[in-house]
Amino acid sequence: MSLPPPQNGKHYTQDDPAMDRYRSARDTLKANGFVNNPNLSEYDQIYLHSIQGTYKVKQEHWADLGYSFQIMLVWDQDRIWGVFDFGSYKGVLMVDHGPEREPPEWSRNRDDDEAGDDEAAPPVYYDFTWKGTCSQMPDTIINNPLITKGKIEFGVSRIRGFFEGMFGAGLPGECCSFDGTPLFGPRRVPRSLQSFIDDWNDLEYFGEDETVRLAPSSVGNVSQGQIEHT
């Protein structure tokens, strides 16, 4: 379905009907007390806000297909939800505690005129769990937190990481490495935070349903290890 034309005939504004599908995710981001913490620096807030968005993704084992796959990410207080479409695999991922501030190398490069001569800081990867389906295994829900997991790096202008436990798709080591870059333009997500959680719950058959997280949990008390992905 095509979008209605801009109201002013040239550019879309936030009040245009075409923007309605982005409004819910934008509103929950604006109300998020974790990413909008007044104790954060302006740079930290800009970085955290920039994580929420829609990314075009390339899979390492299908590099010839280019950036033809997709991941959407949305904040839920200090938690990050994602939905992914990797062709045969589709599903939802959850990072239980996302970044608290901009990456160390970002602030270092901004403050140090000679930063380019320094050794780059190792990337910081965050653990996630995922649930999904595979077209090659119809009527099967793939959901085992001991297996369906992975790591993701939230870089300055891209995301990268890997999914474990993607069986039956001819993946080397059943591991899917990916690299993503935001779609051109403002960082937008055309669906609500609640819809991400609903998709997750639809794929759950062991534990309790998840709900929207109402307040940051132990902000500043959760340590994140730095893991160099080789």
Give residue limits of the domains in the chain.
Answer: 17-102+122-203
How far apart CA 55 and CA 176 sit, in angstroms, is: 16
pLDDT digits (tens, 9 = 90+) for 6-16: 566 555 566 66
The 3-state DSSP class for residue 90 equals strand
Residue 131 bridge partners (DSSP): 92
Quote the mean pLDDT of the chain. 83
Return phi, psi of residue 140, to 5°.
-120, 130
Sign of the Cα torsion 151, 72, 203, 193 reads positive
Which run of H or E residues covers position 23?
A: helix 20-30
Which CA distances in Å does 87 have to 67, 70, 84, 91? 12, 9, 9, 11
| Burial class, 146, CB count within 10 angstroms (exposed 0-12 / middle 13-18 / buried 19+) | exposed
**What is the pTM assigned to this prediction?**
0.82
pLDDT digits (tens, 9 = 90+) for 41-83: 999 999 999 999 999 999 888 888 889 999 999 999 999 999 9
How far apart CA 225 and CA 89 sit, in angstroms, is: 28
